[in-house]
Amino acid sequence: MAGGGAASRAGGLVYPSPIVFDALQQAKSCLIMLHGLGDSGQGWADVAPMLQPDLPQTKFIFPTAPIRAITVNGGARMTGWYDIADLDRIGSESQDAAAMHESRRYIDELVEKEVAGGIPASSIVVGGFSQGGAMALMSLRSKHKLAGIIGLSSYLPLLEEKPIVSEENKGTPVLMCHGDCDQVVNFDFGKRSYEELKKAGVNVDFKTYQYMGHEACGEELMEMRDFLKSCFSAAAGKL
- Beta pairing class for 76-79 and 174-179: unpaired
CATH number assigned to the domain comprising residue 171: 3.40.50.1820
Please tell me the pTM assigned to this model: 0.94
Q: What is the mean pLDDT of residues 136-163?
A: 96
Q: Are 99 and 82 in contact (CB under 8 A)?
A: yes
Instruction: Select from 103, 9, 23 the least CA-distant residue to 61.
Output: 23
Judge whether residue 3 has pLDDT over 60: no
Q: What is the mean pLDDT of residues 70-93?
A: 86
> How many domains is the chain partitioned into structurally?
1
Q: What is the mean pLDDT of residues 181-198?
A: 95
Mean pLDDT, rounded, of the chain? 93
Q: What pLDDT is attached to residue 5? A: 55
Angle at 88 between CA 203 and CA 91, to 5 degrees: 35
Judge whether residue 113 has pLDDT over 90: yes
Confidence of residue 10 (pLDDT cuts 50, 70, 90): low
Q: Are 37 and 214 in contact (CB under 8 A)?
A: no
Residue ranges making up the domain that contains 112 = 2-238
- Residues catalogued as catalytic: 130, 182, 214
Per-state percent for the chain, helix, strand, coil, to nearest 5: 35, 20, 40
- DSSP strand E in 7-114: where? 8-10, 13-15, 19-21, 29-34, 58-62, 67-70, 76-79
Judge whether residue 66 has pLDDT over 60: yes
